[in-house]
Structure 1
Amino acid sequence: MSAYTSVANTRDDTLSVENAQSFEAFLQDIRVKAMKQGVSKVTLDRALTGLRLNPKVIKYDRNQAEFSLNFWRYITSRVSANRLEKGKIKLKENRVLLNAVYQKYGVPPSILVAFWGLETNYGKNVGKMNLVRSLATLSFDLRRRKFFTRELLALLKLIDEGKLPFDAQGSWAGAMGNTQFMPSNVATYAIDADNNGKLDLWHSKIDIFHSSSNFLKRIGWHRGEKWGREVTVPVGFDFSLATLKIKKPIGKWQKLGIRNAAGEDLPKASLKASLILPMGVNGPAFLVYRNFHAILRWNRSILYALSVGHLSDRLLDNQALVAEPIIEPLLNREDVAFIQTTLNDLGFDAGKPDGISGPKTRQATRQFQRYLGFPIDGYVGYQLLQQLKTP
């Protein structure tokens, strides 16, 4: 247990006086860490003196759409008609620059525009929250302290080096610019492509597109390859194979009865793929390739990664998904915590009941489904909730 009080442990994720007092001690620790990395006392005094926790940041963190929306609700809100229409306009307006960037990095224009659209609605919503305050709050919280402390230290170093202003603004999660780079990614991947001496991810499209493409290439994007495709699954299929951990050549999936969304043969290619079922056995199915994993390294949410790929396809006038939408009640965090607690009580290790469905919860769900002889899809949804509530 940390010496600092967790923001998550206070009622309704609000902050108490004890939290605020502990926050001062926490900032002293951050000062020591930052100075060891070469950040000047002048920068630290200016950035951290009088800094207060931001309760709104914790509330935003606990209510992310990736935690609460199912596949259909998520993708229809992200790949909306308005975002698609605007994306096609942006694709056309920036075609010359996007094509030049593609030639250098191998990242297709439609993929870049899809990221741009999903992250900030093409620059409309870049965030207006003070980055130092947001990251200090998230660093103090225990949910992902190690990750956000690293990002806070990276931000302080960028400020100290004059690459970002003291009052830099961005999202509640500490991301900045048109494609929402975290500070460590600014330090590692951002490029002053217009050679004006500034890393401008807010206004310079040259910097924005070059930096984003450099990031994607460096985290595993492969030129000339698809991210994935919608597929159909045959009756009687072994759904335990539907996991990102299992990778098979496309030909092997073909032999197992997997076909494209139109029911036709898969392409003859040597790519390895994984089968994923984002809404269980009754929802859509996708074969995803190594470029999908690159998208996941940008954002670890499977729903986010599928939305990037699907928006990119739609920008190229590819058809909408073939699978029929499923309407089912959404799960809130209390529902997911109930699922996790019940699975734990039944002997299936779902981890700490935090109300967030992650890999451990999905694995426990698979074990529960296998035990009862249900299709093993690992889907944490309304049907699972009802099964666990049934005596």
Structure 2
Amino acid sequence: MFRFIFLFILTISAGTSLAKADDTLSADTTQNFEAFLADIRIKAIKQGISKATLDRAFNGLTPDPKVIQYDRNQAEFTLNFWRYMNSRVSNNRLEEGKVKLEENRPLLERIYKKYGVQPSILVAFWGLETNYGKHVGKMALVRSLATLSFDLRRREFFTKELLILLKLIDQEKLPHNAQGSWAGAMGNTQFMPSNVAAYGVDADKNGKLDLWGSKEDIFHSSTNFLKRIGWHRGERWGREVTVPEDFDFSLASLKIKKTIREWESLGIKRADGKKNSRSLLSPPEASLILPMGHKGPAFLVYRNFYAILRWNRSILYALSVGYLSDRLNGQPVLIAESADEPSLSRDDVFAIQTTLNELGFNAGKPDGFSGPKTRNATRDYQRANNLAIDGYVGYQLLQQLKKQNEY
């Protein structure tokens, strides 16, 4: 008994130390920042970026430690479904969104006819990304992306974005001192440099791509992006459903797709009690997701949900966009009751990962982030202990592991 209690306390202590250490740059210790920028300069020149642009961009440049802190403490990593949803789809954001929807309806309706993306979805993205343009970011994009490129966590991704940003500056499509979020996103709907290059639309035909001040450019670019990453005209993103108590919860996965009729045969029903429509616009397949496990809300999500995920890979973010869009269209609040479950800290997740590994369930190298390996290990643990196999890494799992380790 005492051995297991000691193990769990040791695990939490180790998690605390790691989380604090991870708030610093995990850069290659054999290379300093100046040497890293020299390598970036070589790659940039090979891509045709001028020496003058690089000199101006890199002059006196240093890493920004705040960027790493923001990266390690994203809300998608630290908040559970209800805390995230209630903060993102607040009454204030909903009411302001209704005003913005009406103010811009003529433009949004023209865009809908061209691209097939509903006005409410565009306004929902706008609201979630920058609170309707209030928070577009004031951090220097070159410095932010250079910092994230130097960091090892997602070096390849951010190095690519940095090089594209430098090329856009060199082509005078963006100012050399462009500002945005800590992650390198810019404008009212927070485009990364690669999205600016691939999907940006100068819709007002003034020779400039203005994602900060031109509603035409902002909405056309955002819609072009959504359309090209898989948005289907006239289809929903998903809907809230109910799940029977004896359901096989291991079927709740974005990797598992079934027709609406197949889900209905397994006892899945619309939460509002209505029958599913059989119109031509009904999605061909759907996946079931349980963002707070089998005791929380449930959603069937369709192929437009995957398009939202290609914009932002967070399931909580995608659900919030879809839900805010529905509320803007006058649909009611979620039927599932909000639960005040504590969110997990990174230290908690680190403790869960380490303990699962100690118990023989492979959660991978503990890092405090709940990814696919952690969820798969959780399912294996749940299966071995005759629990609902929902893969939910939450407060209940933390308590179950603590309780198990007391015996």
Which position in structure 1 is the counterpart of 2:401? 388
| Residue number among 297, 308, 317 corresponding to 1:304 in the alignment | 317
Q: Which amino acid counterpart does residue 383 of structure 1 have in structure 2?
A: Q
Matched-pair contact (CA < 8 Å) for 1:254–1:265: no
What is the Cα deviation at residue 49 of structure 1?
2.0
| Residue number among 265, 268, 271 corresponding to 1:258 in the alignment | 268
| Residue number among 201, 215, 220 corresponding to 1:205 in the alignment | 215
Which position in structure 1 is the counterpart of 2:286? 273
Q: Which amino acid counterpart does residue 373 of structure 2 have in structure 1?
A: K
Q: Which amino acid counterpart does residue 21 of structure 2 have in structure 1?
A: R
CA distance in 2, matches of 1:248, 1:18: 45
Which position in structure 1 is the counterpart of 2:73? 63
CA distance in 1, matches of 2:116, 2:214: 20
Identical-pair percentage:
74
- Aligned alpha-carbon RMSD (Å): 1.8
Q: 1:12 to 1:251 in 2, by over 3 A?
A: closer
Gaps of 5+ in 2: 1-17
What is the Cα deviation at residue 271 of structure 1?
2.0
More displaced stretch, 68-77 vs 334-343: 334-343
Which position in structure 2 is the counterpart of 1:371? 384
Q: 1:200 to 1:277 in 2, by over 3 A?
A: same
Superposed counterparts of 1:1-391, under 5 Å: 11=21, 13-14=23-24, 22-268=32-278, 269=282, 271-390=284-403, 391=405
Q: 1:31 to 1:10 in 2, by over 3 A?
A: farther
Q: 1:317 to 1:266 in 2, by over 3 A?
A: same
Gaps of 5+ in 1: 1-7
Q: Which amino acid counterpart does residue 288 of structure 2 have in structure 1?
A: L
CA distance in 1, matches of 2:198, 2:51: 24
CA distance in 2, matches of 1:291, 1:57: 31
CA distance in 1, matches of 2:273, 2:27: 61
Q: Which amino acid counterpart does residue 386 of structure 1 have in structure 2?
A: Q
Matched-pair contact (CA < 8 Å) for 2:76–2:314: yes
What is the Cα deviation at residue 14 of structure 1?
3.9
Q: Which amino acid counterpart does residue 90 of structure 2 have in structure 1?
A: S
Matched-pair contact (CA < 8 Å) for 1:277–1:286: yes
Matched-pair contact (CA < 8 Å) for 2:211–2:218: yes
What is the Cα deviation at residue 265 of structure 1?
3.1
What is the Cα deviation at residue 19 of structure 1?
7.1
Q: Secondary structure at the match of 1:231?
A: strand
CA distance in 1, matches of 2:52, 2:159: 20
What is the Cα deviation at residue 21 of structure 1?
7.3
Q: Which amino acid counterpart does residue 173 of structure 1 have in structure 2?
A: A
Q: Which amino acid counterpart does residue 218 of structure 2 have in structure 1?
A: I
Q: 1:181 to 1:385 in 2, by over 3 A?
A: same
Q: 1:329 to 1:17 in 2, by over 3 A?
A: closer
Q: Which amino acid counterpart does residue 235 of structure 2 have in structure 1?
A: E
Matched-pair contact (CA < 8 Å) for 1:135–1:152: yes
Q: Secondary structure at the match of 1:248?
A: coil
What is the Cα deviation at residue 327 of structure 1?
1.2
CA distance in 2, matches of 1:348, 1:388: 12
More displaced stretch, 93-102 vs 8-17: 8-17
Q: 1:21 to 1:72 in 2, by over 3 A?
A: same
Q: Which amino acid counterpart does residue 381 of structure 2 have in structure 1?
A: F
What is the Cα deviation at residue 70 of structure 1?
0.2
Which protein, 1 or 2, shows the higher relative CO under an 8 Å CA cutoff with sep ≥ 6? Answer: 2
Q: Which amino acid counterpart does residue 155 of structure 1 have in structure 2?
A: L
What is the Cα deviation at residue 251 of structure 1?
0.6
What is the Cα deviation at residue 348 of structure 1?
2.0
Q: 1:16 to 1:115 in 2, by over 3 A?
A: closer
Q: TM-score, normalised by structure 2?
A: 0.91
Q: Which amino acid counterpart does residue 46 of structure 2 have in structure 1?
A: K
Q: 1:266 to 1:9 in 2, by over 3 A?
A: closer
Matched-pair contact (CA < 8 Å) for 1:10–1:16: no
What is the Cα deviation at residue 266 of structure 1?
2.7
Matched-pair contact (CA < 8 Å) for 2:19–2:347: no
Q: 1:115 to 1:17 in 2, by over 3 A?
A: closer
